[in-house]
Amino acid sequence: MSGDVILDVRDLKVSFSARRSGRKYRVQAVDGVSLSLAEGEVLGIVGESGCGKTTVGRSIVGLLAPDSGAIRFKGADMIGGTRLHEMRLNVRMVFQDPYASLNPRRTIGDAVAEAGDINGFFKSPAERGAAIAATLTAVGLDPSFAARYPYELSGGQRQRVGIARAILPTPSIIIADEPVSALDVSVQAQVLNLMMDLREELGLSMLFISHDLGVIGQISSRVAVMYMGRIVEQATTRTVLDHPLHPYTRSLVAAIPKPDPTKRILGMIETGEPPSQFNQPRGCAYAPRCPIASDRCLVDAPELRLVGTDGRSLACHNV
């Protein structure tokens, strides 16, 4: 499983300007995120709406320009680097909404071949056709789909196309942003299995972004939990799911609706009001919701630090 570090993100900061009630604000969507992805590893990023998980993913593939920080792919800088094209072919993205991410007027074959076309990857039309057919087969679609249009496909089939687009030519890393959230559970299971198979067959590394700890638990070996632009806890997936330490992770794990009517949680856990990006606290962002917050938490934002011996890191003063 574990190999050399293939992707290294250091102190990433991304902000957006926004206007509210006539005033201009700077919203710090990502506030100093560092993470590293080892060769062949699946790292999950989990968090709720607005926590910055998608912004991290989009910054890594170069769809957003960060304010500061470094993103290195196999040691080479991805921001302002000289081999950007090569890196972009090697770090690819699978998007959430298989309806919005495919051009309705292009055939499936053209969509799948797009990255190869742009980069002059195919030597002849015959080679291009064969590559499309092989890629469609790899994601469990019949090669005849190449001539079809997105409207002819179901949600699950479209997401298979979304994955096919990301693996031709074969990349080193896939950034998957909520790739199964728009799918029904039975189809979700099919697509998750496909992603696990492809990871193994093609030797991919993956950054898997999701709000769903169940899905993350299925596919990733390590998970980073984000809250208001920062990583608050990072550890192996089993550790996070079975023994969460950060109070936010604890409430996130506790709030998953367990499919077991004998283990009911309603009315038994307090989760507090969600934060607003326009009103970022000076200290720990979670302090206003936190059951164990102390005076220090209100003024002093905790740094991510290593705890214990199993590689867990945690940003909390009181755990």
Partner 1 sequence: MLSVRDLAVSLGPETTPVDIVAGVSFALAKGEILGLVGESGCGKSMTSLAVMGLLPQPGPRVRAGRVLLEGSDVTRLQPWQRVEAGHGRMAMIFQEPMTSLNPVRRIGDQIAEAVQVHERISGAPALSRARELLELVRMPDPGMQLSAYPHQLSGGQRQRVMIAIALACRPQILIADEPTTALDVTIQVQILGLLRELCNRLDMAILFITHDMGVIAQLADRVAVMYAGRIVETAPVDALFGRPRHHYTRGLMDCMPSRNSGARRLPTIPGQPPAPGSVTAGCAFASRCASVREVCRVAAPPHTSVSQGHEVLCAFPLDGGSSP
Grouping H, G, I as helix, E, B as strand and the rest as coil, residue 56 is helix
Q: Which stretch binds partner 1 (CB under 8 A): 33-41, 140-148, 169-177, 264-272?
A: 264-272
Tell me whether strands 222-227 and 230-236 are parallel, antiparallel or unpaired: antiparallel
**What's the CA gap between 94 and 161, in Å, rounded?**
10
Considering the complex, state which of residue 144 and residue 276 has its C-beta at the smaller distance from partner 1: 276
Give the type of residue at 60.
I
Q: Which residues of 196-234 are buried (b: 16+ CB within 10 A; e: fewer)?
A: eebbeeeebbbbbbbbebebbbbbbbbbbbbbbbbbbbb
Nearer to partner 1, 10 or 211 (CB): 211
DSSP H or E segment with residue 158 = helix 155-166
Burial of 310 (0-12, 13-18, 19+ CB in 10 A): exposed
Kindly report the number of other CB atoms within 10 A of residue 270's CB atom: 9
Q: Any contact of residue 274 with partner 1 (CB under 8 A)?
A: yes
Give the nearer residue to partner 1 in terms of CB position, either 255 or 299: 255
Residue 276 CB, shortest distance to partner 1, in Å, is 8
184 binds partner 1 (CB under 8 A): yes
Residue 262 binds partner 1 (CB under 8 A): yes
Residues in 186-245 that interact with partner 1 by CB under 8 A: 186-190, 192-193, 196, 211-215, 217-218, 238, 241
When asked if residue 144 is in the footprint of partner 1 (CB under 8 A), the reply is no
271 near partner 1, judged by CB under 8 A:
yes
Q: Does 89 bind partner 1 (CB under 8 A)?
A: no
Sign of the Cα pseudo-torsion (183, 16, 166, 197, in order): negative
Nearest approach, Cβ of residue 255 and partner 1 (Å)? 4
The reply to whether 43 sits near partner 1 by the rule CB under 8 A is no
- Please give the radius of gyration of the chain, using alpha carbons only, rounded to the nearest integer: 21
Residue 318 CB neighbour total at 10 angstroms: 14
State whether residue 33 is helix, strand or coil: strand
Site size with partner 1, rule: CB under 8 A: 44
| Stretch near partner 1 under the rule CB under 8 A, chosen from 24-32, 37-45, 132-140, 180-188 | 180-188
Task: Note if the bond before 125 is cis, omega within 30 degrees.
Answer: no
Specify the stretch interacting with partner 1 by CB under 8 A; choose among 83-91, 107-115, 158-166, 251-259: 251-259
How many CB atoms are closer than 10 A to CB 101? 18
Q: Tell whether residue 22 is a contact of partner 1 (CB under 8 A).
A: no
Among residues 78, 115, 204, 252, the one that binds partner 1 under rule CB under 8 A: 252
Return residues touching partner 1 (CB under 8 A): 48-49, 154-156, 184-190, 192-193, 196, 211-215, 217-218, 238, 241, 251-252, 255-262, 264-267, 269, 271-274, 276
